Chains A and B, each alone.
Chain A
Amino acid sequence: MSFGNILGAWVTVFLTLAILSYLYKDNPFYKIAEHLYVGVSAAYWGTIAFWNQVWPNLFGRLWPHIDNPESLNGFNKFWYKLYNGFHWLNGSMFPENGIPGDQTQNLWYIVALFLGLFMLARLIPSINWLGRWSLAYVVGMAAGLRIFGFMSSNVIAQIHGSILPLWGHGLGSALNNLVLIVGTVSGLFFFFFSVEHKGIFGKISRVGIYFLMISFGASFGFAIMGRISLLIGRFNKLIEYSSSQYGYATFILLAVMVITLLVLNIGKKEEEVE
């Protein structure tokens, strides 16, 4: 077992127990772990986004690798001189003569670069309005994408799926299909708020509520199932790292934390008494 693996196990156990210590009460271990999580995850997302998209797909399209830079002329000569500035800053991240990959140059992506930089401008109060342009692009794209997707798959396909045979496939199938149709239609009646839920409409709406309650009850059951599964996963890890292979990390760190929290608790009570 390498040092990296053993150190990793101890760090994992410490951070897991630190978060779980919140169940006793808010304490410095939990606060340390929480703030570490916040810092690490922010940088993690940014790093991943840069290496998986910005570097290959933006820089890779603006400055794709060229085999013979001597052949460049005009705007491209100046353009690659700009790139050489990046190369001078960090030759490893920005290799000579362009970003490796299979992209062909597409200078329209300068617009994407600027929209991206406008997004970052939100950090500066005097020019944060520039971020609206980038946001407008994102919002417009998302809206255009979603109209068709939701209409086709979430509405039309679901209505199509609700048109079910009520005879010809046996009594059991007929009853089940009837439940599906009645449940879907009455549920939709409930969501129609333009008409007051009175009389026949109200009665159908009431049936709809009951179907929705069954659905919410099932969702509740599944939610509990999901949460318990996640806890099982964490406990499996703690059990794994309690072995001698990892230096009994779980037992030792648990003991240290419990003793520390008890001491802190006793100290706090003495302060309160005083």
Chain B
Amino acid sequence: MSKFLENLDKIDRRYIFLIIAIVVMLPLIFPLGLPVEPTNLTIDAFDAVNKIPKDDKVLVSFDYGPSTKPEIHPMAIAVLRHLFTNGNRVIITCLWPDGLFMARDALEQVAHKEFDLKYGVDYVNLGYRPGNEAVIKGITRSFPANFTVDSKGTEIKKIPLMDGMQSLKDVGFIFSLSAGYPGSKEWVQYASDPLKITSSTGVTSIQVNEILPFVKSEQLNGIVAGMPGAAEYEQLLVKNGIHPTIGTAGKSMDAQSIAHLVIVLFIIIGNISYFAKRKKEKKY
């Protein structure tokens, strides 16, 4: 028995890969229906979006790409649904080049198909500009200088929603959908903090700890953390009657849960093997 325990960590890692693949795949095909409970910081983000005055323009920044789409895209869809349901007008910017495509997909699904909104009046996609935080710094001074045309090549002065928009100071709320650099941190450092604009954010799970101090010091109102956070936000939309069903994040939580459990079991088994080896070493 002890030899078996000692040899446990010599198992070919491909078996571990196979187990992970199975435990992630099966709940996606055969859902368990585990309930999602919203946590406090997601509720704070939801409430912050809920409180935006209807006349305020909201800037939503798509700072993620296809590599982090499963985590951030569901929350992008959920937040847009929330904003459009409340009647807010939305300005989209992208600090990542891939964000352009993510924004287009999200707007196609929500603004076009669900809400039948008018481009240029209810929402506008200004597109991507390279330069990272310099872009944010630039638009705190002047929108037209940095975004002369939108993502479709239309001049900014011809877009009704951008009428009177000189700089970021004319925006009432910033929501950053962030997967790394540049992202939420830069929006806080160069926009929200200096201009005192109310902001919130949705980030990848990996970025959560980096952004959490901003939330605790009230520089950001709440945080939607990774796919579980997106699932919680979707649940809040359902609970508040804004949308009838949960989205892709909520449906993926079963797979997420089982995978986490299996990884914890792996850690425990690995440590059992380690302690068995240590016991043997101490004995001899």
Stretch in A80-88, A144-152, A199-207, A257-265 touching the partner: A144-152
For the complex of A and B, 9 pairs with smallest distance between CB atoms: A233-B70, A161-B217, A149-B189, A226-B205, A229-B227, A48-B97, A225-B205, A222-B205, A153-B189
Q: Evaluate contact between A226 and B206: CB separation under 8 angstroms.
A: yes
Q: Which of A23, A101, A152, A229 contacts B205 (CB 8 A)?
A: A229
Q: Evaluate contact between A102 and B260: CB separation under 8 angstroms.
A: no
B-chain residues with CB within 8 Å of residue A23 when the two chains form the complex: 14, 17
Q: Evaluate contact between B226 and A225: CB separation under 8 angstroms.
A: yes
Q: Considering the chains assembled together, what is the distance between the CA atoms of A219 and B208 in angstroms?
A: 8
Interface residue? A72 (CB, 8 A): no
Interface residues of A in 174-222 (CB under 8 A from B): 180, 215, 218-219, 222
Task: Fill in one digit per residue for B206-242: 1 if any A CB lies within 8 Å of its CB, else 0.
Answer: 1011000110111100000111100000000000000
B-chain residues with CB within 8 Å of residue A215 when the two chains form the complex: 209
Q: Which of A102, A150, A229, A236 contacts B28 (CB 8 A)?
A: A236
Secondary structure of the B contact surface, majority rule: helix
Interface residue? B108 (CB, 8 A): no
Interface residues of B in 161-187 (CB under 8 A from A): 185-186
Q: Which of A100, A152, A154, A222 contacts B206 (CB 8 A)?
A: A222
Residue of B17, B20, B213, B225 with most partner-chain A CB within 10 A: B213
Q: Evaluate contact between A145 and B209: CB separation under 8 angstroms.
A: no
Interface residue? A114 (CB, 8 A): no
Given A49-B130, A223-B206, CB of A232 within 8 Å of CB of B149: no
B219's nearest neighbour on chain A, judged by CB, is A157
Q: Evaluate contact between B24 and A232: CB separation under 8 angstroms.
A: yes
A-chain residues with CB within 8 Å of residue B155 when the two chains form the complex: 100-102
Taking Cβ atoms with an 8 Å cutoff, the residues of B that contact A are 14, 17, 20, 24-25, 28-29, 67-71, 97, 100, 127-131, 133-134, 137, 144, 146, 148-149, 153, 155-157, 185-186, 188-190, 193-194, 204-206, 208-209, 213-214, 216-219, 225-228, 248, 252, 255-256, 259-260, 263
Q: Evaluate contact between B228 and A235: CB separation under 8 angstroms.
A: no
B-chain residues with CB within 8 Å of residue A141 when the two chains form the complex: 134
B262's nearest neighbour on chain A, judged by CB, is A228
Interface residue? A35 (CB, 8 A): no
Q: Evaluate contact between A236 and B97: CB separation under 8 angstroms.
A: no
* Least distance between B52 CB and chain A CB atoms (Å): 22
Q: Evaluate contact between A225 and B213: CB separation under 8 angstroms.
A: no
B-chain residues with CB within 8 Å of residue A235 when the two chains form the complex: 24-25, 28, 255
Q: Evaluate contact between A222 and B148: CB separation under 8 angstroms.
A: no
B-chain residues with CB within 8 Å of residue A150 when the two chains form the complex: 189
Q: Considering the chains assembled together, what is the distance between the CA atoms of A57 and B134 in angstroms?
A: 14
Task: Fill in one digit per residue for A224-249: 1 if any B CB lies within 8 Å of its CB, else 0.
Answer: 11101111111110010000000000
Q: Evaluate contact between A145 and B70: CB separation under 8 angstroms.
A: no
Q: Evaluate contact between A226 and B71: CB separation under 8 angstroms.
A: yes
Q: Considering the chains assembled together, what is the distance between the CA atoms of A66 and B236 in angstroms?
A: 52
Given A101-B155, A232-B256, CB of A223 within 8 Å of CB of B205: yes
Residue of A215, A222, A239 with most partner-chain B CB within 10 A: A222
Q: Considering the chains assembled together, what is the distance between the CA atoms of A233 and B70 in angstroms?
A: 5
A-chain residues with CB within 8 Å of residue B214 when the two chains form the complex: 153, 157
A-chain residues with CB within 8 Å of residue B216 when the two chains form the complex: 161, 180
* Least distance between B174 CB and chain A CB atoms (Å): 14
Q: Evaluate contact between B260 and A224: CB separation under 8 angstroms.
A: yes
Residue of A101, A158, A226 with most partner-chain B CB within 10 A: A226
B253's nearest neighbour on chain A, judged by CB, is A232
* Least distance between A111 CB and chain B CB atoms (Å): 16
A-chain residues with CB within 8 Å of residue B217 when the two chains form the complex: 157-158, 160-162
